[in-house]
Structure 1
Amino acid sequence: MPVRPLEPEDDRIQHKKAVLNGVTYHYLYGVPPSGSYKGTVFLIHGWPDLSFGWRYQIPMFMELGFRVVAPDMMGYGGTDAPECPPNPISMYGLKRASDDIAELAKQLGAEKIILGGHDWGGFVIWRVAQWYPQLVSHIFSVCTPYTAPHREYISLEQLADGPLPQFRYQIHLASGEVEKIVNDEQKIRQFLKGMYGAKGPNGEEAFDPCKGVIPENLPLIGESRILNGKVLDYYVREYSRHGVFGPCYWYRTRKSNWEEDLALLDKKVIHTPVLFIQATYDSVLKPEMAKNMDALLPNLTRGEVPSAHWALTQKPEEVNSLIRKWLEKEGVITKSLL
């Protein structure tokens, strides 16, 4: 039976706030109708998304008997967006995100969590499992392959000029130019529609992985099939709280993330059970990026869906089925619950 996705005003979930290491976070919170639950699942979104990007997965986990926690990450939606400077850019880094997730789990009394991520959220969950291995019982990543800590620093420019030319957009997002382009509610609406697959009348795109955001095309962008109606309105409202500068800060953290990662060089191998779901048509996180993960993830299960980057909402039934089967294989749920 297909899951009924969350609506912006949905009585199955609560919108909650928590102060985590001095920053106020907004998060979605759901429990099974019975009020009792067998475990806690944390779901971490990426760019340019929100906690609501998990709207097809949150009901599934609740139906399977789990408590679900999905935060808006730093700079997004109802969570604070501290400016940098005066704050250090590491506020938007992987270590800080890991610390805040661990703190939220502590406040909620969750000694163990299942941790899922997509896009930037995928990068976050790998580091949470390394900084807080006793907290995380299982990990699943949709689209985002595991990248181990490196002793040598590799800049965005080196990546884009070398093995990952499709990462050149990150240079644009880090430049400060995107905030100047996407600077009011209407432009946020056009930007989001374009990022979620909408095009102009002659196939014009709002985004090119090898370039970044294409400002002259934003006014031309039509409707998106996967982000529209009330859900699009919700995203526009949430992004209009702070604008896009907070989400763009994440792309300025490469060096600070590397510096903090140096403490993890002896923790490259993650022994936690892992599910990796590849979106076979992802134009940025391409399948070849994930081919060499097995040696560092000895408990890895692989799956794939015929989708572009937004697999969570483009192919929700396929994604959810892979997660359910993996949880069954791991003995977390039983077949009778499926």
Structure 2
Amino acid sequence: RIYENHDSLINWFDGSIVHLQQSIDITDSKKAFHDACFDELTNTLTRRAGKELLEKLIKAAHQNCHGFITCMFDINSLKQVNDNYGHSEGDKLIITICQTLKKYLGSGDIFFRLSGDEFIVVFTEHSLQNVKEILQKVLIELKNSAQKNALPYEPSFTYGLLEVQSTSNYSLTDILNRVDEKMYEQKRSYHILKRQQDAGLQKQSDPSEKNNFSYQAEYLYDALVNSTDDYLYVCDVQSDVFHYPKTMVEEFALPGEYIKNAAAIWGAKVHPDDQSAFLASNQEILDGRANIHYVEYRAQNKEGKWIWVRCRGQMQYNEQGEAILFAGFIKKLGENYKQQLP
């Protein structure tokens, strides 16, 4: 049990001085306070408790002329770990990353869970460069631990950093929005690199993927009417298999009509100067930050010519809010499209 003790010296009825102690059992209220302030899985602060502390820190920074560094990080590949190895393994991944990072934090730092796989760390005693070095040490330790324990995946995270000066007039909302933007800049770079690596691993499509391809026809119509026409593509989100028309396969020398990991294979045909825009637009769809896809870029056809295309598409969801089908059109604009613009 936990007791709160109050001690005092008082004058008693007979004129003597006595010591009075009052003890209050606060075990239950202490537990209730802990449960309200700390995340059950990671034992980091909850969103509400963390934001309250950060709010106080912002006010203190102005008064004490002392800035701080805010970090937002997002755990990589958590969905894939949950899907392939179960949610208990996904929980273990979250716990491992949080426990490893905690070893590098000081007593004045703030660490809280913002959402499912997003966390905020506020460093109060380090420079921006020191924080970068700390995070790299954490990532290296996670990688070495995964290799030592022969994990089938690599525990890692993508982060963004925001330096808040004591003279900054950022509100709590400003800080969270700005650091979120910085994190997604790195997140896009991470996925661009990963897609490029995947493209080198898969050069041709597997004919058996055709047997795995299926989609819910009732979701197709809405996607089509919100798109344009030319080359139609349809993706079954669950299996990540795209279906392309024969004319497009022939025009751009694709490995087949049914392609898994199409973003990497089709992305390899996108002009180097346009790949960032192409992959960033795809990543917005994958992250759920957008459900409509619209991007223009150059793609290399079978003759080696760079053809401007406009790609439009829309993500469709089922009654449970799960992404189920992605479909749209790729329209050829020609080799000299940009030159013709005013």
Q: When you count strand as a share of all residues, which structure comes out higher?
A: 2
Q: Same fold (TM over 0.5)?
A: no
TM-score range, shorter chain: under 0.3
> If you compute each CA radius of gyration, which structure gives the higher value, 1 or 2?
2
Higher RCO (C-alpha 8 Å, min separation 6): 1
What TM-score results when the alignment is normalised by the length of structure 2?
Answer: 0.22
What TM-score results when the alignment is normalised by the length of structure 1?
Answer: 0.22
